Amino acid sequence: MLWLCIHFHRLPLEVFSPARQAVPETALAIVERHRICAANAAALALGVRLDMSASSALALSDTLKLREREPAHEASTLATLADWACSFSSQVSISPPDRLLLEIGASLRLFGGVASLLQTAEAEVSARGHNVHHGLGPTPLSAELFARALPCKPSAPPAWAIHHDPEAFRHTLYALPIHFLDTPGKQQLAMQRMGLGRTGELFALPSAALGKRFGKDFSVYLARLHGERPDPRPLHRPREYFAHRVHFLEPIADAAMLLFPMQRLLGDMGRFLDRRQLYCQRLEWRLGMTRGAGQTLPVACSLQHNRVDALLGLTKLALEKLKLGGSVESLELACAESASLEAQAGQLFAHAQDSDPEAERLLLDRLRLRLGNERVHGIYVRDSHLPEQAWSAIQEPSAPIFGSAAPERPCWLLEKPVGLELRNGHPAWDGNLTLLSGPERIDTAWWATPHCRDYFIAQHEDGSLLWVFRERTTGQWFAQGVFG
């Protein structure tokens, strides 16, 4: 067993500036319980010191930025890093607040030794904008201890780790000063008063006596540090999302030929999601082209289960609208959004007239894909006196808040009011109009574009009823609606 501890010692700072900072760096310090707990180089140059109170740090300079520490953000960053670390080891565990533990003994052959593994890890972690300390040890606790006390350079890992020499390890461990041990300050003080300076002197004492003096936990800690007691760690489970890619030996120029690999990928995704009790809400096809930028084909799906045929049908519709800009070299399917499956009991005697929500969702998905989102919509009542603003098109139907207490309104609203001509002083629109009732005066929007209109219900000579108005400022007549 060889444990690698990756210590993200600047994590509280790095969650605020994940990418590499541009020069000059702004002075940033992190505050926890009104005390500075971390500061970057620029802040240290201003004279900020750890454990300084926040107010005295602010007094040093007005360019200093203080941020409250965000443990939740740190934890999620660490979990993301743990996902990344799974590419180095099958045994990854998170040691809060800022350390990852990897058992790399089993991965050494794959990476070609300790040094090259550490260099790869270092390169990747710094590309993500993190500064780390590495520590190697045969037990998790010793790796953590070395990361704290003797961080090793990836280019020069300790000789004992390369040559698997337990004797040399013990020698290094015993030479460490006692204050690096992960024990409370009170115990540290007591050990110093006993005249102990190095870890080796501590291990020379009988463990029963140490346990009596410093408590059972301390002797367990020492035994685990040394590897005499097992130290089980909870394993990190990588987060679950689906993204699979296939490469074609021969580039595909015909979109229809993509359907077969698509079906296979959808089947894979269905199995993946089914195992995790998830269903796909939006999937994304990424087409890698032989030339030029790749194309992305998003498919939204509101079905609540992973039915390959339904997903394939939606994909087909999306493909019909897609213009292939060249030959497709690779195809990737990513489940962009998923939600957890809620098991629903099917109906044994489904009545033919009962509406099937699944079929309805699939229908709306298909219509939206083919016609476009803006051509499939619901309608909604808005609170406005101006008739053209009293409705709106919405994507997701929701119940209107406003009731309609309005007088007679036409079922059909014209896209834009149509100007009417005046014939012998009467408004006319491809035929004479007779005013039946009105006027209803709407005088609104004086704060923006004022509208002062007198609305009438008019009958066309062919019998249809129109909603016309006269703009009072200009005296012009318009038709705005039709009473269906």
Partner 1 sequence: MKDASDPLETILARPDIWQAGRVSAANEPGHTLPSGYPALDAALHQGGWPRAALTELLATRCGIGEIQLLAPTLAHISRGGRRVFLVAPPHIPYAPALQALELQLTQIVVLRPQGRSELLWSLEQILRSGSCGCLLGWLEQDRAAADYASMRRLQIAARNTPGPVFLFRSPGPAATLSPAALRIRLEHEPGGLRLRILKQRGGRAGQEVLIGRSSRLLAPRVLPALLPTCVSGIGSEFQESRRFSATIQPVAPSSLPQPSMH
Q: Binding to partner 1 by residue 294, rule CB under 8 A?
A: no
Nearer of residues 94 and 468 to partner 1, judged by Cβ: 468
**Identified binder of partner 1 from the candidate list 302, 316, 370, 386, rule CB under 8 A:** 370
> What Rg do the C-alpha atoms of the chain give, in angstroms?
36
Q: How many residues bind partner 1 (CB under 8 A)?
A: 71
Tell me which amino acid residue 278 is.
L
- Nearest approach, Cβ of residue 279 and partner 1 (Å): 19
CB-based contacts of 481, cutoff 8 Å, min separation 6 = 387, 409, 410, 411, 412, 413, 414, 466, 467
Q: Which stretch binds partner 1 (CB under 8 A): 28-36, 210-218, 242-250, 373-381?
A: 373-381
Q: Binding to partner 1 by residue 449, rule CB under 8 A?
A: no
DSSP 19-33: SPPPSSPPPEEEEET
- Nearest approach, Cβ of residue 444 and partner 1 (Å): 11
Q: Binding to partner 1 by residue 316, rule CB under 8 A?
A: no
Nearer of residues 260 and 412 to partner 1, judged by Cβ: 412
Q: Binding to partner 1 by residue 464, rule CB under 8 A?
A: yes
**Mask 333-362, x = binds partner 1 (CB under 8 A)?**
-------------------xx-xxx-xx-x
Q: Binding to partner 1 by residue 470, rule CB under 8 A?
A: yes
- Nearest approach, Cβ of residue 447 and partner 1 (Å): 12
Q: Binding to partner 1 by residue 443, rule CB under 8 A?
A: yes
- Nearest approach, Cβ of residue 420 and partner 1 (Å): 13
Quote the CA–CA distance of 446 and 309 in Å, as a whole number.
56
- Nearest approach, Cβ of residue 472 and partner 1 (Å): 7
Where would I find the H helices in 157-196? 159-162, 166-174, 185-193
- C-beta separation of 286 from 296 below 8 A: yes
Q: Which stretch binds partner 1 (CB under 8 A): 159-167, 210-218, 324-332, 379-387?
A: 379-387
- Nearest approach, Cβ of residue 391 and partner 1 (Å): 4
Q: Binding to partner 1 by residue 185, rule CB under 8 A?
A: no
**Identified binder of partner 1 from the candidate list 216, 229, 237, 441, rule CB under 8 A:** 441
Q: Which stretch binds partner 1 (CB under 8 A): 24-32, 37-45, 157-165, 412-420?
A: 412-420
Q: Which of 303, 428, 415 has the alpha carbon at shortest distance from 356?
A: 303
Give the length of the chain: 484
- Nearest approach, Cβ of residue 329 and partner 1 (Å): 32
412 burial via Cβ count (<10 Å: 0-12, 13-18, 19+): exposed
CA pseudo-torsion sign 220, 223, 224, 225:
positive
112-118, Cβ contacts within 8 angstroms, sequence gap of 24 or more: 113/162, 114/2, 114/157, 114/161, 114/162, 115/154, 115/155, 115/156, 115/157, 115/162, 117/4, 117/88, 118/4, 118/152, 118/154, 118/157
Q: Binding to partner 1 by residue 447, rule CB under 8 A?
A: no
| Cis bond before residue 400 (omega within 30° of 0) | no
- Nearest approach, Cβ of residue 416 and partner 1 (Å): 10
> Per CB under 8 A, which of residues 82..141 are in contact with partner 1?
none
> Per CB under 8 A, which of residues 226..255 are in contact with partner 1?
none
338 burial via Cβ count (<10 Å: 0-12, 13-18, 19+): buried
Nearer of residues 114 and 301 to partner 1, judged by Cβ: 301
- Nearest approach, Cβ of residue 341 and partner 1 (Å): 21
How close are the terminal C-alpha atoms of the chain, in Å? 82
For residue 249, what are the CA distances in angstroms to 115, 261, 266, 324, 390? Answer: 36, 13, 20, 18, 57
Count Cβ atoms below 10 Å from residue 12 Cβ, excluding itself.
24
Nearer of residues 264 and 370 to partner 1, judged by Cβ: 370
- C-beta separation of 243 from 332 below 8 A: yes
- Nearest approach, Cβ of residue 311 and partner 1 (Å): 16
Backbone angles phi, psi at 223, to 5 degrees: -65, -35
Nearer of residues 1 and 359 to partner 1, judged by Cβ: 359
Quote the CA–CA distance of 212 and 475 in Å, as a whole number.
102
Q: Binding to partner 1 by residue 203, rule CB under 8 A?
A: no
**Identified binder of partner 1 from the candidate list 298, 408, 419, 421, rule CB under 8 A:** 408
Nearer of residues 330 and 459 to partner 1, judged by Cβ: 459
- C-beta separation of 220 from 141 below 8 A: no
- Nearest approach, Cβ of residue 305 and partner 1 (Å): 16
Q: Binding to partner 1 by residue 431, rule CB under 8 A?
A: no
**Identified binder of partner 1 from the candidate list 425, 447, 448, 449, rule CB under 8 A:** 425
For residue 382, what are the CA distances in angstroms to 390, 391, 453, 455? Answer: 5, 5, 19, 20
